[in-house]
Structure 1
Amino acid sequence: MTRLILLAGSAVSVLALVTPAVAQESEEGRSQRTTVQPYIEVSQIGVVTLSPDEDAVTYTQAAVGVDAQVNGRNTGGSLSIRYEYNKSYDDDTPDSDTVSGVARGYASIVPQVLTVDVGGLAARTRVDGNGGATLNPLNGEDSESRIYSAYAGPTLNTRAGDVAIAAQYRVGYTKVEQPDALVLTPGADPVDVFDDSISQRASVHVGTSPGEPLPIGVGLGAGWAQEDVSNLDQRVRDIYARADVTVPVSHSVALVGGIGYEDVVVSSRDALLDTNGQPVIGNDGRLVTDKSQPRQIAFEADGLIWDAGVVWRPSSRTAFEAHYGRRYDSDTYHGSFAWAPSSRSSLNVSVYDSVSGFGGQLNTALANLPTEFNVARNSLTGDLGGCVASVEGSQCLTGALGSVRSSVFRSRGVSASYTTAIGRMTAGIGAGYDRRKFLAPENTVLADANGVVDEAFYGSVFLSGDLGRRANFSTNAYATLLQSGFDQQGEVLATGASASYNRSLTDRLSLRAAVALDHIDSDLDLEDLTAASGLLGLRYGF
């Protein structure tokens, strides 16, 4: 799968020349099929804290879930959803339950013309004192937060003679459940955790391909995007219109460019102040918005936008594009590379640049997932591992989950993944970098966040496969480093590894065993945390 970031500054007519090669080929080669695999699990889990203090907690875990894939003539998609309940045998550790899952799918209303796309996510994260978030929290952590996100919308692709017409609308909702503002260090200010947002985007583009009928491809496009964040009524609004051109240089290379106008505005209101001039905190632990005050501008950029780039597609298995231009009153870079050396392996790289809130970025990451995938889950907790694996290439959500602060930000980064099948085994690696520069109005309670930069580095590897006809294994490791500008010493490193073994006892009943080791090195905490976990259980598939 080629992850194309369709920004206002991208040459949209390139899509007529360079369609994602890997995705297109896999769609044509698949047979129609539907698989639904519901299951129940009962497991015994032990967690031993190795540092800072030695301690042990035992859980009984009961879980139900379903993994499904649909690949029909006019529908397609993948779903993995799981509910689990953890019963603790330690009086100091409360019982817990959680829902986790990810889904991405489509349905053709009019085949090859009108399609409706949907996607969703439910996940747990561990939130640090600087607002950074990492997946796979330990059960019962006080810093645990729940994230839910979903989107849906129609896509239209049709033609009027030589002119291709494309239009799209998408609406999404994202919610972070955190009952109280986090105060992870005594005496420190609470973390301004994102609450919820509604994000929308719409676009339309008309254009011709090179040779149909002109020697070059030309196009006109326009779009609108808006995200409304509940925290202090923050709003991101982006409106643009542009013209673009595609100039073939050879059968596999084309030069592309575009020019247009864009108006981007980020605004919010201030917090309600009490009689002492201090911000009022609501019952949900978040800042109360003073709706009597007018909006204040945090960031504004309007005027000329442009970009130029190159597209290279030497074969149906390789696609590359790179763009440089001017946007957001500064230089901008974006592009992608997809290479499938064989039907069993693929490499994908993406470079992006956008302005949004937490919810808008997460919705975009969901929309970029392939429609056929297998979910990587933590072998012990069952939580999402942040990445999905597919014949179209892996895709990770880790970068989008890097921080749960409420402030709007400009996000620039790169993500890469490689997946390959080796005999009866599958292996993959993913890595990325995400840089967020927060945008907030001066003379408001968010003023201290304006211009602050958070940087996140992340990576993961996995190897899984069959061991004979009745057994299989899975191993994975991850590392995430967050360097936050909200605290000069706010660096958090989370690392871990796990391995699991499954053996079928009957056609439906299997034995499960797993071990894991997790480590969190945080400059915000006085002591690091290291924990080892083990699981033994049974799984029944229907």
Structure 2
Amino acid sequence: MRAPSLVLGGLLAGVLAGASAHAQSMPYQATGDDAVSGDQDADARDKGGLHGGHSARVGGSSARTTIRPYIEASQNLLAQITPGNDVLTYTTLAAGVDATLAGRRTQGQVSVRYEHRFVEKGRVGDTNTISGMARVSHQIVPRTLSIDVGALAARTRLEANGSTSLNPYSPNDSVSQIYSVYAAPQLTTHVGDVGVNASYMAGYSKLDQKNGYRPAADGTRVDVFDHSIMQSAQVSAGVKPGVILPVGLTASAGWDREDISNLDQRIDDKRVGLRATLPVSRTVQLVGDVGWEHIRVSSRDALRGPDGVTPVIGRDGRYVTNKSAPRQIAYDSDGLTWDVGVMWRPSRRTSLSAFVGRRYDSTTYFGSFSYAPNTRSAFSLSVYDGISGFGSGLDNALRGVPTDFTAMPNLGGGGFSGCGLGAAGGGCVNGALSSVNSSVFRARGVNATYGFAMGRLRLAVGAGYAHRRFIAAPGTVLGVANGTVDQNWYVDAGVSAPIDRESSFSVAVFDTWYDSGTSTLGRTNAYGGYASYFRRLADRLTATASVGIDGVSRQLTADQLEVTGLLGLRYTL
């Protein structure tokens, strides 16, 4: 196992120590008396990031702490329809654990799976993969000191234009592993009438490739992300409306930084501000914020070859950084920022925030809406705008997945779709994972999720749009990407239900469109669908049969389409 795998495994093992749970099924679904309703939660979205909220239980049953480790074996078939007609067969042996943490001070979900694929027929080698997601919140000192942690491991297919698709079925050489972990302690206290909040977040993300990335046949090269470390610190002090003035006042300061290994790219963002809050009714508040911000994006250039012009490419397929070269500025903004908006919360099950302002030398929009009219359904929508790299974008998206998530499974690939739904909403990491271009970017987009449960019937949908405008220093090898735009649209949907006390079915579909402004290879469209049947053979033994399709449509290169089949057994320990 490589280092990122050990980091992820260590974090998940630490989370599970002394606690246990049941979370998503990947790819098996409980049947009969083992079927349980999914855990649900919503996280509030504000301009500074994604923050955890309350927890609830869908279907009216109380949450409980359990643990379900399992082992499984399956026989897999993959038949290529285009561009060739290869047939691949392999056996998968897997071990994993699904967990729900529902203690007095700890809430969370953990689902992690390790598998080894033994290829029997085909032109690829054996593979090892880890997939899973964890979101846990723990109250160290109730109502005062807490810590929020998260982890993600995902198998992705990397396209020549830099786009990716989650958990492809085929274990071929274009498949890479992505890992991300973060921890975020938070302090909430009072000094007299003044409320004081402080938080810190540190995260690490890594793209681990079996083989080095190579440019397309036309010479197009996308510098693929390697790894990054992100940090974020916030502190604020304020008083509620009516304590000193009719309006509430909060002074704040913050610092964000991401260090990206590719060409020593760095984002450094410092800001201070004052926010005023005016209640206009029991459920509505008007909010205004004014502040100062300095954000700088910088990097170094690549090492050049003997001719002094050609950049040097390392064995991993990435540019080699010239450590002796001076740091060059790609973006530098220093000045006044402001925003105004409204917050509406008529009940614990409905909330809305909408803001417009000035940031990054242009107009900015952000906000969120969540609606959970009952314990059976929940809808959430978030609009975001910010400057980040791949790693910090992924960490923030992961933090937006609720701590009581029930993940939508990707049944064919043995992983998950990237979306997790909770009682009052949900979150998706699909947009953050759509491109692995190493360049810093300004990201604007929208994510939406909807979940519905009636009895043991489950319906889940996640969709979103991401717009990235890349930022790079002119004159460097990344300079050609400066100002270019990538766009991504995605939709994931799944439905599952019992057939009788001993059997159930599940259907999952996904579609992702990616339009690259960086690569001349243009658009790609990754899509797929899987249908599975599950039957309980004994108290802890479940059998499954699954069929599906997995395809990629490319604008300028050959399309790919495969049909898949799986027969397997899972034993829950």
* Cα contact 1:307–1:324 (8 A) shared by 2: yes
Residue 506 of structure 1 deviates from its aligned partner by: 0.7
1:43 is matched with 74
In the superposition, relative to structure 1, how do residues 294 and 6 fare at CA in structure 2: closer, same or farther (>3 Å)? farther
Task: Give the distance between the partners of 1:248 and 1:394, measured in 2 at CA.
Answer: 28
In the superposition, relative to structure 1, how do residues 480 and 442 fare at CA in structure 2: closer, same or farther (>3 Å)? same
- Cα deviation per residue 1:40-84 (whole Å; 9 max; x = unaligned)? 111111111112222211111111111001110111211110011
1:156 is matched with 187
Pick aligned residue for 2:227 from 165, 175, 196? 196
1:93 is matched with 124
Task: Give the distance between the partners of 1:388 and 1:120, measured in 2 at CA.
Answer: 13
Pick aligned residue for 1:521 from 553, 560, 571? 553
Pick aligned residue for 1:75 from 102, 106, 109? 106
1:454 is the counterpart of 2:486: yes
Q: 408-417 vs 153-162, which deviates more? A: 153-162
* Cα contact 2:135–2:403 (8 A) shared by 1: yes
Task: Give the distance between the partners of 1:529 and 1:284, measured in 2 at CA.
Answer: 25
The one-letter amino acid paired with 1:262 is E
Matches for 1:8-47 after TM superposition, within 5 Å: 23=54, 31=62, 33-47=64-78
Task: Give the distance between the partners of 1:248 and 1:25, measured in 2 at CA.
Answer: 28
* Cα contact 1:149–1:362 (8 A) shared by 2: yes
1:282 is matched with 314
| Partner-residue secondary structure (3-state), 2:397 | helix
The one-letter amino acid paired with 1:329 is D
Matches for 1:432-511 after TM superposition, within 5 Å: 432-488=464-520, 490-511=522-543
2:291 is matched with 260
Residue 312 of structure 1 deviates from its aligned partner by: 1.2
1:171 is the counterpart of 2:211: no
- Cα deviation per residue 1:85-116 (whole Å; 9 max; x = unaligned)? 11112252211121111111122211111011
The one-letter amino acid paired with 2:228 is S
Task: Give the distance between the partners of 2:334 and 2:45, measured in 1 at CA.
Answer: 21
Task: Give the distance between the partners of 1:367 and 1:146, measured in 2 at CA.
Answer: 20
Task: Give the distance between the partners of 1:25 and 1:493, measured in 2 at CA.
Answer: 36
1:305 is matched with 337
Task: Give the distance between the partners of 2:341 and 2:398, measured in 1 at CA.
Answer: 26
The one-letter amino acid paired with 1:250 is S
2:571 is matched with 540
* Cα contact 2:536–2:542 (8 A) shared by 1: yes
- Cα deviation per residue 1:378-419 (whole Å; 9 max; x = unaligned)? 222212211123223232110010100110100000011111
Residue 24 of structure 1 deviates from its aligned partner by: 5.9
Residue 214 of structure 1 deviates from its aligned partner by: 3.5
The one-letter amino acid paired with 1:220 is A
The total of aligned residue pairs comes to 531
The one-letter amino acid paired with 2:314 is G
The one-letter amino acid paired with 2:297 is V
Q: What percent identity do the matched residue pairs reach?
A: 47
1:364 is the counterpart of 2:396: yes
1:328 is the counterpart of 2:360: yes
1:54 is matched with 85
Task: Give the distance between the partners of 2:212 and 2:329, measured in 1 at CA.
Answer: 25
Task: Give the distance between the partners of 2:560 and 2:197, measured in 1 at CA.
Answer: 51
TM-score normalised by structure 1 residue count: 0.94
1:63 is the counterpart of 2:103: no
Task: Give the distance between the partners of 1:91 and 1:49, measured in 2 at CA.
Answer: 11
* Cα contact 2:371–2:425 (8 A) shared by 1: no
* Cα contact 2:503–2:534 (8 A) shared by 1: yes
Task: Give the distance between the partners of 2:211 and 2:541, measured in 1 at CA.
Answer: 42
Matches for 1:1-12 after TM superposition, within 5 Å: 1-7=41-47
Residue 161 of structure 1 deviates from its aligned partner by: 2.8
2:248 is matched with 217
| Partner-residue secondary structure (3-state), 1:467 | strand
Q: 111-120 vs 233-242, which deviates more? A: 111-120
Task: Give the distance between the partners of 1:352 and 1:91, measured in 2 at CA.
Answer: 44
Q: 467-476 vs 99-108, which deviates more? A: 467-476
The one-letter amino acid paired with 1:382 is G
* Cα contact 1:158–1:164 (8 A) shared by 2: yes
Residue 151 of structure 1 deviates from its aligned partner by: 0.5
In the superposition, relative to structure 1, how do residues 213 and 343 fare at CA in structure 2: closer, same or farther (>3 Å)? farther
| Partner-residue secondary structure (3-state), 1:98 | strand
Task: Give the distance between the partners of 1:365 and 1:257, measured in 2 at CA.
Answer: 25
- Cα deviation per residue 1:237-264 (whole Å; 9 max; x = unaligned)? 1000000011111111111110000000
| Partner-residue secondary structure (3-state), 1:131 | coil
* Cα contact 1:380–1:516 (8 A) shared by 2: yes
Residue 147 of structure 1 deviates from its aligned partner by: 0.4
Q: 171-180 vs 212-221, which deviates more? A: 212-221
| Partner-residue secondary structure (3-state), 2:408 | strand
In the superposition, relative to structure 1, how do residues 175 and 287 fare at CA in structure 2: closer, same or farther (>3 Å)? same
- Cα deviation per residue 1:429-473 (whole Å; 9 max; x = unaligned)? 111000001000011111101001000000111111222222222
Q: 65-74 vs 466-475, which deviates more? A: 466-475
- Cα deviation per residue 1:455-502 (whole Å; 9 max; x = unaligned)? 000011111122222222211111100011023551000111111111
Pick aligned residue for 2:262 from 231, 246, 249? 231
Task: Give the distance between the partners of 1:229 and 1:434, measured in 2 at CA.
Answer: 21
Pick aligned residue for 1:377 from 383, 391, 409? 409
The one-letter amino acid paired with 2:261 is S
Residue 326 of structure 1 deviates from its aligned partner by: 0.2
* Cα contact 2:55–2:404 (8 A) shared by 1: no
* Cα contact 1:80–1:375 (8 A) shared by 2: no
1:349 is the counterpart of 2:389: no
TM-score normalised by structure 2 residue count: 0.89
1:393 is the counterpart of 2:425: yes
* Cα contact 2:459–2:496 (8 A) shared by 1: yes
